[in-house]
Amino acid sequence: MSLFKWEHQAVDTFAALHDLSGRTAVVTGGSRGIGRAIAQALAEAGADVVIASRKQEACETAAAEIHQATGRRAVAVPCHVGRWDDCDRLIAETLDTFGRLDVFVNNAGMSPPYKSLETITEELYDKTLAVNLKGPFRLAVLAATHMAEHGGGSVINVGTAGSLVASVHELPYACAKAGLNALTVGLAEAYAPKVRVNAILPGPFLTDISRGWAPEDPDDAPFVPLGRMGRPEEVAPLAVHLASDASSFTTGAIIRVDGGVTRKV
């Protein structure tokens, strides 16, 4: 076999393994930032997608843009992931619309600012835990239960590298996301062998959330070994990989995408 033919077959095999045609994926927090990039990439790989976030208009805009760009079905489902009734409705509406659920991306999150640790209110703490851990727990369990009963699937939890090196400035958020790491490992065991559960831990990325602390020049970030901030589209290919058959022997993994910030942890 010539080298050219081998390379051509390798490319075909790689593409086939990452093909998500005929599958349905849900992305929470999918209207902007990392979630928006993941939803776009999943659709480009062939999946129909559900865009979920709190603001219906933002969901509808993202869904329309993704459909126009990829030709895949994309629907908007407003959902406050901190409320279990909304979580239940998101799963039910997905199944009513598409009749299947193959990939679930727990991406929604929030990190409300506070002046100091002693000023953190019970309301702020509870709200942070609800969106970053309580809701994702419910959603992952509902999604994985359905997948286990219908041929399998993939759950992807999007956390943060900050869960490994918790900062005093985002401690409730880091605590919740550390819980998401534990949830990933526990669910990987609970729903094996049919459902794979993995986590992605982004580091310093250019998103709406990072605007308050990101350097003026995102390509000059000396605190990052790679020297710059990350961009949402640099996380999306990993999500496609974890959603696809290319990662068929990967579960319970917690993968850092942080430019090397937590390299020594």
Provide the pLDDT for residue 6.
Answer: 44
Per-residue pLDDT tens digits for 149-158: 999 999 999 9
Domain tally, the chain: 1
Catalytic entry in 114, 125, 173, 191: 173
Provide the pLDDT for residue 7.
Answer: 54
pLDDT band of residue 214 (cuts 50, 70, 90) is low
**Structural domain includes residue 262:** no
Residue 18 has pLDDT above 80, yes or no: yes
Contacts of 88 (CB under 8 A, 6+ apart): 138, 142
Residue 85 has pLDDT above 70, yes or no: yes
Q: Is 132 exposed, middle or buried (0-12, 13-18, 19+ CB in 10 A)?
A: buried
Residue 216 has pLDDT above 80, yes or no: no
Residue 175 has pLDDT above 70, yes or no: yes
**Structural domain includes residue 47:** yes
Residue 9 has pLDDT above 90, yes or no: no
Residue 210 has pLDDT above 80, yes or no: no
The least confident of 10-19, 97-106, 134-143, 250-259 is 10-19
**Structural domain includes residue 2:** no
Averaged confidence pLDDT in the chain = 91
Q: How far apart, in whole angstroms, are the C-alpha atoms of residue 107 and residue 252? A: 17
Domain that holds residue 111: 21-257
Token pair recorded at residue 222:
């000396």
**Structural domain includes residue 154:** yes
Q: Which one has a higher pLDDT value, 207 or 154?
A: 154
**Structural domain includes residue 9:** no
CATH of the domain at 61: 3.40.50.720
Contacts of 258 (CB under 8 A, 6+ apart): 161, 201, 202, 203, 204, 224, 230
In order of 20, 24, 35, 64, 129, the CA distances from 185 in angstroms are 24, 23, 22, 35, 19
**Structural domain includes residue 14:** no
**Structural domain includes residue 3:** no
pLDDT band of residue 248 (cuts 50, 70, 90) is very high
Provide the pLDDT for residue 178.
Answer: 97
Whether residue 173 lies in the annotated active site: yes
Provide the pLDDT for residue 261.
Answer: 84
